[in-house]
Structure 1
Amino acid sequence: MSAELDLAARVVELTRRLAGAAAEAEVVAAHSAEALTRFANSAIHQNVAEATTTVRLRLHLDGRTAGGSTTVTDADGLRSLVERTIAAARLSPPDTAWPGLTPPTPLLAAPGFDEATAAAGPEERATRVREFVRAAGGLETAGYCRTAYASGGFANTLGQAVKGRSADAAMDGIARLAGADGVARRAGGRLTDLDGAELGAIAAAKARAGAQPIELPPGRYEVVLEPTAVADLLDNLAGFGFNGKAFAQHQSFAELGAQQFDESITIADEPLGATLPFDAEGTPRDTLILVEAGVTRAVSHDRTSAAEAGTVSTGHASPASRSWGPIAADLRLAPAPAPAGASGRPPGSAPGGVPDRSSGSAPGGGGQTGTGPVAATARALMAGMHRGLLVTDLWYTRVLDQKSLVVTGLTRNGVWLVENGEVTAAVGNLRFTQSYPQALGPGSVLGIGTETVALPDRWSGVRYTAPALHLASWNFTGNASG
């Protein structure tokens, strides 16, 4: 038994003694350790590490539910947690939506755990920062390299008892030249998969290619979205569209069994290896197909939303899911099949890029090598574009209408005009207002890249995996001048 599972089991037994045999209780004990190396002005300025063990108790007593948590895990701290939660339950209103506890259910096998990432120190992260800065070739750089480790145990009064652990690494950096920013970011289960030199070269090439941007009028443009931009689509689709609570309350666009997306779109949540193998209610996690060949197949559920929808939990409970809804946090958009014998990269290009505008050749011109504004997987998608935009990143996105998932936001870290398949000019940042499901609707997806990139969420350890996308239309509503 792991230390966390033992801790959870102790709280369950204490709850039985203090609240009585009729009480229903579930306990998650989780240890998380995160270390972050930050750099700015091309130098490391901060190295921080935090490790916390948290115990969360949810109690259903006499038809009422309450929850509490503590980071004080000695005998007095645990007893205080149980007593406070019992008192809160007795003062809470009746909980008619209580879905009951997860019965004993075995976990699925998870991918291998990388001990080296969990134990990584500041030297390993600093090495990747140094490689990033050097590869930027003198441009001003900033960003971070992060490693994280989690282990947890779950127990409830119905007999469910499970444990697991996960490790994660991520790097996100920008390079800047004369006000133009280029970005590169990656995530993964192993720190050794993060190549600081590759990411630094990509970010620098984008910054160099972003000089002297032109302004374009608002309107609908054909676009190629790089994986960094596609990650925002997945984030909002997960939070507002495939959210089981929103679905049960008819606030989601999702219609199960309907062809809501282009037939080239398949989206799955793949949590195993990226997070603990069970959720906050002890439900085992598994791959969940949300969209298959354009057909919406499922939404994410905890036990409460599943009971309301007449189905079963998909393993997406969190401490906040009864309030905010259960959210799939590890979405993957499936890439297009690579042509037989193809490497997935154009000849002479490095991973993540092509023409460098500082080389003296026209942007996107033939015969160039090196890294540049176009991710390797996006170059083939641009070939069929008569006139449109290449977009690196979407930023500061906010939902205007949840039901149709109309989102407004800004481009960031590089936009380029593409004419006859070639990048011809950098473009100033643009504001957009666009329904994400509509942009991915039947007939709207003109192409999907053949390679995916794992990307970190901007605010947490969430991971998205995405290829580039070629879309028929994207609604830009303003430019840098307003």
Structure 2
Amino acid sequence: MSILTEAQAKAILDKVIKLSTADECTAQLSGSIDGNIRFALNNVSTSGVVDNTDLVVQVAFGKRSGVATINQFDDASLERVVRRAEELARLSPENPEFMPAVGKQAYTPTRTFNASTAAISPEYRAKVAADSIDACKAEKLVAAGFLQDGQSFQAFANSNGNFGYQQSSGLDYTCTVRTEDGSGSGWVGRNLGDVDKFDAGQDIRTAVRKATASSGAKALEPGKYTVILEPAAAAGLISFMMNYFDARQADEGRSFLSKKGGGNKIGEQVYDPRVNFHADPGDADVPVMPWDGDGLPREKMDIVKDGKVVALDYSRYWAQKSGKRAVGTPGNLIMAGGDKSTADLVRGTSKGILVTRTWYIRMVDPQTVLLTGLTRDGTFYIENGEIKYPVKNFRFNESPVIMLNNIEELGKPIRVQGDESSIAMMIPPMKLRDFTFTSLSDAV
């Protein structure tokens, strides 16, 4: 029962809405079938499929609301979950920031579902693991990785007549490759909606090359360096920064987008003029659901244009309080770039450092988005357009705001997953000056 058709989902949701005696009722139904395979030390360790379907019912009496969840859908169970939500609503205190359910909305379907991806089989997962492991064994390397794929649906309805339904699918693959003595490490990751664009046997070669090349790393003095961040490395910092594109945080003085004396920095130059971010639920490379968690339609919208902040995320409550129009919270982030690959950026660099990944990123100062973290899985010194030798990993202290004011060149964006958010991103490799490394790390 994990993947319901639109008609099946609507029949259940309509029953729930009719059962409620509250002032308003919203019901959300979701289901998924998720497959996975995990391997380590060149052997498969786990594999499986998980399927689940849940119904979440939220009701309100005035400004008192209650929520209950169930995964059984017979008539008695549906009535039980509605009554439980109503009991909780009557017991709860009033919420001064309560917003009623949205009215009927119009949604433009997006291409979040791919039949080939949804049809991934256990045999396919086994082949991905085998392709990854065999390529490493051939080079006397050790592979550890994870493939997760799935298909799902989302459906919701409320007592104001709103309804939405859509299916989605996708896959995530990561593989870390180590030398047998543990002195070298390489990594590759892929986040895709279309399995036909994925070839583990081809992609693993990137991690194999880096693992072999990163053995015997030399120590460089910490300091400010020209760096080339691969898209996965840049995404970790940028996704952290985007958590602060909230209008309320900015208006209340709690973010780097707060203006001295009050208000926010919409319309102000915050980044290099080459920095452009936008969201588009219908983007061909990173399509997302056409609505957000409140049921508001998502729109194609600029977020940063030529370095100027042009949009922040207004919750429905804060939009009403501020006299703004609330729009759906973006589900993706697309950064403009050029047409060069990471290798092209390396060839154009006289001296610098190539960073494969950033990890263990933590906040130091939210007012400046100063972050600290570590490089890993392949860090290399560049000289005269060539990778000369591997270097020990660094700890960095850097703000993505400063980073995006120190751009030398941007490459071609690719699809990646942000570490600090679930949104899909299109991020280019980027060449930056004066990136701050503060200390060395012995980890590979």
TM-score by length of 1: 0.82
Q: Aligned to 2:410, which of 430, 448, 459? A: 448
- RMSD in angstroms over aligned alpha carbons? 2.2
Give the C-alpha shift of residue 384 in structure 1. 4.0
Whether 1:285 and 2:298 are equivalent positions in the alignment is: yes
Q: Distance in 1 between matches of 2:296 and 2:151?
A: 21
Whether 1:476 and 2:437 are equivalent positions in the alignment is: yes
Give the C-alpha shift of residue 460 in structure 1. 8.0
Asked if the contact 1:248/1:305 (under 8 Å) is kept, the reply is no
Q: Aligned to 2:324, which of 311, 325, 337? A: 311
Q: Aligned to 1:220, which of 215, 219, 224? A: 224
Whether 1:13 and 2:18 are equivalent positions in the alignment is: yes
Q: Given residue 41 of structure 1, which amino acid in structure 2 is its aligned partner?
A: L
Give the C-alpha shift of residue 206 in structure 1. 0.6
Partner of 2:215: 211
Asked if the contact 1:433/1:475 (under 8 Å) is kept, the reply is yes
Whether 1:267 and 2:280 are equivalent positions in the alignment is: no
Please identify, of 139-148 and 68-77, the stretch whose mean Cα deviation from structure 2 is larger: 68-77
Give the C-alpha shift of residue 4 in structure 1. 2.4
Asked if the contact 1:155/1:282 (under 8 Å) is kept, the reply is no
Q: Which runs of 5+ in 2 are unaligned?
A: 1-5, 258-264
Task: Mark the CA change 1:380 to 1:125 in structure 2 (over 3 Å): closer, same or farther.
Answer: same
Asked if the contact 2:292/2:331 (under 8 Å) is kept, the reply is no
Task: Mark the CA change 1:301 to 1:42 in structure 2 (over 3 Å): closer, same or farther.
Answer: farther
Asked if the contact 1:32/1:51 (under 8 Å) is kept, the reply is yes
Q: Distance in 1 between matches of 2:11 and 2:365?
A: 45
Give the secondary structure class of the aligned counterpart of 2:393. Answer: coil
Partner of 2:309: 296
Give the secondary structure class of the aligned counterpart of 1:331. Answer: strand
Q: Given residue 258 of structure 1, which amino acid in structure 2 is its aligned partner?
A: E
Asked if the contact 1:29/1:54 (under 8 Å) is kept, the reply is yes
Partner of 2:359: 395
Please identify, of 262-271 and 378-387, the stretch whose mean Cα deviation from structure 2 is larger: 378-387
Q: Aligned to 1:246, which of 244, 249, 260? A: 249
Q: Residues 366-405 of structure 1: matches in 2 within 5 Å?
A: 377-405=341-369
Please identify, of 285-294 and 396-405, the stretch whose mean Cα deviation from structure 2 is larger: 285-294
Asked if the contact 2:236/2:420 (under 8 Å) is kept, the reply is no
Please identify, of 283-292 and 142-151, the stretch whose mean Cα deviation from structure 2 is larger: 283-292
Q: Which runs of 5+ in 1 are unaligned?
A: 317-327, 339-343, 345-376
Asked if the contact 1:409/1:432 (under 8 Å) is kept, the reply is yes
Q: Aligned to 1:195, which of 170, 194, 199? A: 199
Paired residues, number: 424
Partner of 1:3: 8
Task: Mark the CA change 1:148 to 1:76 in structure 2 (over 3 Å): closer, same or farther.
Answer: same
Task: Mark the CA change 1:232 to 1:267 in structure 2 (over 3 Å): closer, same or farther.
Answer: same
CA offsets, 1:189-213, max 9 Å, x none?
A: 1112111012110000010110111
Q: Distance in 1 between matches of 2:422 and 2:50?
A: 14
Partner of 2:268: 258
Asked if the contact 2:228/2:431 (under 8 Å) is kept, the reply is yes
Task: Mark the CA change 1:302 to 1:439 in structure 2 (over 3 Å): closer, same or farther.
Answer: same
Q: Given residue 208 of structure 1, which amino acid in structure 2 is its aligned partner?
A: T
Whether 1:128 and 2:124 are equivalent positions in the alignment is: no
Give the secondary structure class of the aligned counterpart of 2:216. Answer: coil
Give the secondary structure class of the aligned counterpart of 1:256. Answer: coil
Task: Mark the CA change 1:163 to 1:243 in structure 2 (over 3 Å): closer, same or farther.
Answer: same
Whether 1:84 and 2:94 are equivalent positions in the alignment is: no
TM-score by length of 2: 0.89
Q: Given residue 19 of structure 2, which amino acid in structure 1 is its aligned partner?
A: L
Asked if the contact 2:186/2:210 (under 8 Å) is kept, the reply is yes
Partner of 1:357: none
Asked if the contact 1:12/1:25 (under 8 Å) is kept, the reply is yes
Task: Mark the CA change 1:314 to 1:66 in structure 2 (over 3 Å): closer, same or farther.
Answer: same
Give the C-alpha shift of residue 381 in structure 1. 2.0
Q: Given residue 268 of structure 2, which amino acid in structure 1 is its aligned partner?
A: A
Give the C-alpha shift of residue 60 in structure 1. 2.4
Q: Given residue 246 of structure 1, which amino acid in structure 2 is its aligned partner?
A: Q
Partner of 1:324: none
Task: Mark the CA change 1:310 to 1:150 in structure 2 (over 3 Å): closer, same or farther.
Answer: farther
Give the secondary structure class of the aligned counterpart of 1:311. Answer: coil
Partner of 2:393: 429
Q: Distance in 1 between matches of 2:112 and 2:424?
A: 17
Identity fraction in percent: 26
Q: Aligned to 2:187, which of 168, 175, 183? A: 183
Q: Distance in 1 between matches of 2:159 and 2:61?
A: 12
Q: Distance in 1 between matches of 2:409 and 2:337?
A: 10
Give the C-alpha shift of residue 244 in structure 1. 4.3
